[in-house]
Amino acid sequence: MLLNILNNNYSLRTKILFAFIRLVSRYPVPDAAKLAFFRPEYYSNLMKKFTHKAMRGNSDWSIADRELMAAFVSKLNQCPFCIGAHTATAALAYNDKAKVSSVLSDLKTAPIEKPLKSVLQMLGKLTKENSITAEDIHEVLSAGVSPDQIEDALAVCFAFNTTDRLANAFGFEILTPEGFEAGAKFLLKRGYR
């Protein structure tokens, strides 16, 4: 059940933006967008900036790779909204739904490159166990992942461990497949600003 707090107390400018989003997309404003504009001075301005940098900033990981990381972390956190949103975005970014589906179904057998698989395994351990070791980092480095790529992947993991928990706590409404597809196009075009 959606907590009603995300339906109230927005500035006039934000209300106009939400009306524009509804008009252009022909879909209701997703709860994720409502959260992104909720209490901007306390939470959303900082988190939007951090998430945008993690997901769209300079990185040796492609946008598709980072969206896949977000979908993978969200799956482990059992966050239906974020699974749908980032699965759709990763599939569109890769132009390969089967690749994304295979990773989310069974990472061990997924036909992806060793560096990406290794970093996803590390993010999985961090998400499930809330810690990683020097050995875990060494394994990822041995798979050909650079220290900068590890840092970038950890930023994605942090962003979505936080967002997933908020989405689940607020009870984000699950969109239709068409709604997730529209959101994916928006995220690929505009990012997380």
Q: What's the rounded Cα separation, in Å, for the pair 115 and 146?
A: 9
Residue 18: inside a domain: no
Residue 8: inside a domain: no
Residue 15: inside a domain: no
Q: What's the rounded Cα separation, in Å, for the pair 92 and 96?
A: 7
Residue 83: inside a domain: yes
Instruction: Give me the mean pLDDT over the 125-149 stretch.
Output: 97
Domain residues for 174? 31-190
Is there a contact between 94 and 100 (Cβ–Cβ < 8 Å)? yes
CATH code, domain carrying 108: 1.20.1290.10
Mean per-residue pLDDT of the chain:
92
Statement: residue 8 has pLDDT above 60: yes
Predicted pLDDT of residue 19: 87
More confident residue, 16 or 141: 141
Predicted pLDDT of residue 2: 53
Residue 11: inside a domain: no
Residue 56, Cβ density class (10 Å: 0-12 exposed, 13-18 middle, ≥19 buried):
middle
- The pTM score is 0.90
Statement: residue 187 has pLDDT above 70: yes
Query: Dihedral of CA 32/34/37/42: which sign?
Result: negative
Q: What's the rounded Cα separation, in Å, for the pair 93 and 47?
A: 23
More confident residue, 29 or 93: 93
Residue 13: inside a domain: no
**For 50-88, what is each residue's pLDDT tens digit?**
999 999 999 999 999 999 999 999 999 999 999 999 999
Residue 4: inside a domain: no
Q: How many domains does the chain have?
A: 1
Q: What's the rounded Cα separation, in Å, for the pair 59 and 123?
A: 17
Predicted pLDDT of residue 3: 61
Q: What's the rounded Cα separation, in Å, for the pair 21 and 148?
A: 35
Instruction: Give me the mean pLDDT over the 166-171 stretch.
Output: 90
3-state secondary structure 7-60: HCCCCHHHHHHHHHHHHHHCCCCCHHHHHHCCCHHHHHHHHHHHHHHHHHCCCC
More confident residue, 44 or 147: 147
Residue 185: inside a domain: yes
Instruction: Give me the mean pLDDT over the 136-158 stretch.
Output: 98
More confident residue, 183 or 44: 183
